């Protein structure tokens, strides 16, 4: 009996552990990560003991993007390296440069430098390609042209790698991209980056190091940031977001809130989108206390189609969400026929099967979700033969993500129920129709 109990506990522990680590793997974006390449453009080992490197940050995630205050890339030097000059980014601290002789002082002498992107409008002579967007990186699906950032450094006083006489610099370590939820690998040497300069010619850098950063919700501290509410045309009630989805009013972990009748306070002096740190959340008081609410409304039932309205409401009174995106998981998305006011891209496709889609705003129209505002869309979906039904919550999404964060769904037993006597499925209604035809035929014979 004791042995059986031990085996049972071991199985439960294994299942819980495996599910936790499996959740760090994102089935909706299995290959998504942030890749950092150090491309060596010059390497002077004889005279100046310096090298010039172009650092590129590539966001290869389909739907997660880096928003303000942006990335803050840091690492630890292997030796006594200093950054003499930089373009496209800057170090947050210069540090103690008294040990460096000569007339000019380096840009940064920190053992662990922290590099940040320059803001838009930086003078041209301080820029490089793909720089100067304030640390913001678009997701790969929304805009692959702004999903990359870059800056150039001139590094001196480097230590050669201890591999028997090699003159290559020793790799830095302890990389961190400075965004909650991400952890980075050590640098590894990869084949040098090649680029095309004209129709027939490619060039390559001297040396390339690569660092990979991945996201996990278990690494991101903090409370939930969004929730989902539901309603239908066949039910008069609305299933609200679960109570205290993102905290309870008055609790230490919940954001400060303002009641419905109170005006929003003015922004703090000097505050704004250019600050290094985002403003503390200030939201409209609600039962759910979430900055973002996503409402799914089953609007109309046609003979061959059905119509859904989705509304994303911003309860945050001090923040606009620029380049927002919404990810929905529903088995009928593969039959999406028409969409209004949003962009759309399937995320997970296995042959003809697709149950996950990404939605985002149209440029210059609704790409920004304003403070205390909302954006909305309607979609028309074709009914899948033998699968479509209004019963059992089938018409509602399985998962909802806003800006890469999973939203809190209502419990399944609270989903809007069909009225008494309504046909639950297409199969049941077809069966009823068939029974009526048989009855009519019998009456005609008698």
Helix (H, G, I), strand (E, B) or coil at 378: strand
**Tokens at residue 221, please?**
């501290």
Distance CA(297)–CA(416), nearest Å, equals: 11
Give the Cβ contact number of residue 271 at 10 Å. 14
Predicted pLDDT at 385: 80
For residue 353, what pLDDT is reported? 75
H or E element that contains 440: helix 426-445
Strands 282-284 and 256-258, bridge-based pairing? parallel
Model confidence over 268-290: pLDDT tens digits? Answer: 554 444 455 666 779 999 999 99
* DSSP SS3 for 339: strand
pLDDT tens-place string over residues 298-352: 999 999 999 999 999 999 999 999 899 999 999 999 899 999 999 999 987 676 6
Residues forming beta bridges with residue 406, ordered by sequence position: 401
pLDDT of residue 6: 44
Q: What is the pLDDT of residue 400?
A: 96
Instruction: Find the angle CA(248)-CA(369)-CA(144) to the nearest 5 degrees.
Output: 120
Cα angle 425, 426, 430 (rounded to 5 degrees) comes to: 120
Contact, 224 vs 408, CB < 8 A? yes
Taking the C-alpha atoms of residue 370 and residue 375, their distance in angstroms, rounded to an integer, is 9
Choose among 388, 393, 233: nearest CA to 305: 388
The percentage of the chain sitting over the pLDDT mark of 90, rounded to a whole number, equals 61
Calpha distance 135→294 (Å, rounded): 27
CA–CA separation, 360 vs 351, rounded Å? 24
Omega before 111 within 30 of 0, i.e. cis: no
Give the span between the Cα atoms of 144 and 135, in whole angstroms: 15
Distance of CA 317 to the CA centre of its chain: 22
> Which stretches in the chain have pLDDT values below 70?
1-25, 45-48, 158-166, 221-223, 261-279, 349, 351-352, 420-446
| Portion of the chain with pLDDT greater than 70, in percent | 80
Residue 435, classed as helix, strand or coil, is helix
**Do 82 and 156 contact (CB within 8 A), yes or no?**
yes
pLDDT in tens, 1-50: 455 554 444 444 444 443 333 445 677 888 899 999 999 999 876 656 88
All domains of the chain in start order, with CATH: 33-219 (2.60.40.290), 226-259+281-414 (2.60.40.290)
Residues 6+ apart with CB under 8 A from 355: 329, 330, 331, 333, 334, 348, 398
Select from 365, 437, 369 the least CA-distant residue to 403. 369
Task: Please count the other Cβ atoms lying within 10 Å of the Cβ belonging to residue 426.
Answer: 16
Q: Which tokens is 440 given? A: 């009519």
């Amino acid at each position: 009996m004791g042995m059986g109990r031990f085996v049972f506990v071991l199985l439960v522990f294994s299942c819980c552990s495996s599910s936790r680590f499996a959740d760090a793997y994102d089935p909706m974006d299995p290959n998504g990560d942030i890749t950092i390449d150090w491309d060596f453009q010059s390497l002077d080992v004889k005279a100046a003991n310096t090298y010039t490197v172009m650092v590129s940050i590539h966001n290869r995630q389909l739907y997660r993007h880096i928003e303000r205050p942006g990335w803050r890339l840091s690492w630890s030097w292997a030796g006594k390296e200093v950054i003499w000059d930089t373009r496209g980014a800057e170090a947050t601290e210069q540090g103690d440069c008294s040990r460096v002789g000569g007339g000019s002082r380096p840009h940064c002498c920190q053992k662990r430098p922290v590099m940040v992107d320059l803001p838009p409008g930086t003078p041209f002579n301080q820029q490089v390609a793909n720089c100067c967007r304030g640390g913001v990186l678009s997701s790969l699906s929304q805009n692959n042209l702004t999903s990359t950032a870059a800056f150039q450094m001139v590094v001196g006083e480097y230590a050669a790698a201890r591999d028997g006489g090699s003159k290559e610099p020793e790799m830095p370590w302890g990389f961190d991209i400075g965004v909650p939820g991400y952890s980075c690998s050590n640098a590894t040497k990869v084949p040098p980056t090649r680029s095309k300069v004209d129709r027939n010619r490619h060039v390559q850098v001297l040396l390339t190091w690569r660092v990979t950063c991945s996201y996990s919700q278990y690494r991101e501290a903090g409370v939930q940031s969004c929730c989902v509410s539901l309603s239908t045309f066949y039910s008069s009630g609305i299933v609200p977001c679960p109570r205290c989805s993102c905290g309870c009013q008055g609790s230490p972990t919940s954001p400060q809130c303002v009641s419905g009748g109170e005006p929003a306070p003015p922004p703090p002096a000097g505050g704004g989108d250019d600050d290094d740190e985002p403003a503390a959340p200030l939201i409209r008081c609600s039962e759910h206390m979430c900055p973002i609410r996503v409402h799914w409304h089953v609007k109309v039932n046609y003979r061959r189609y059905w119509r859904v309205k989705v509304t994303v409401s911003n309860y945050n009174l001090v923040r606009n969400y620029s380049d927002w995106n919404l990810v929905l998981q529903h088995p009928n998305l593969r039959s999406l026929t028409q969409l209004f006011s949003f962009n759309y891209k399937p995320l997970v496709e296995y042959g003809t099967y697709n149950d996950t889609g990404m939605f985002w705003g149209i440029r210059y129209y609704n790409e920004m979700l304003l403070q205390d505002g909302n954006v909305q869309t309607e979609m028309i979906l074709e009914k899948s033969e033998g699968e479509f039904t209004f019963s059992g919550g089938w018409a509602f999404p399985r998962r909802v993500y806003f800006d890469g964060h999973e939203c809190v769904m209502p419990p399944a037993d609270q989903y809007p129920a069909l009225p008494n006597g309504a046909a639950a499925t297409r199969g049941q209604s077809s069966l009823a129709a068939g029974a009526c035809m048989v009855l009519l035929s019998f009456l005609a014979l008698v």
